[in-house]
Amino acid sequence: MIDMQLLGGVLIALTMLGGLSIAISIALMASGSGAKTTGQTPPGGIRRDPPRQPPWQPPRQPPRQPQPETDDARELVLV
């Protein structure tokens, strides 16, 4: 059978472990929130730079506009 002193010691150890983890979580959240504030943000928000392409890919080019076809070049194929 489990001894009451052993059970009490285990419960106290678990309670202390839970309290310690909560205290560490609070400390980390408090230290993180102070580091983020660097000053007043601009009124329009933060503008992000567009993503850069890797150097091995050529730069993107706009899609070409389709050339209008003349009626003489069209063919109708019935199957």
In the predicted structure, residue 24 carries a pLDDT above the cut 70 = yes
Structure tokens at 77: 């194929």
In the predicted structure, residue 15 carries a pLDDT above the cut 80 = yes
Write the pLDDT tens digit of every residue in 33-72.
665 556 666 666 666 777 776 666 666 777 777 766 665 5
Q: Which residue is listed with tokens 């109708």?
A: 76
Secondary structure (DSSP) of 12-58: HHHHHHHHHHHHHHHHHHHHHHHHH--SPPPTT-PPPPPPPPPTTSP
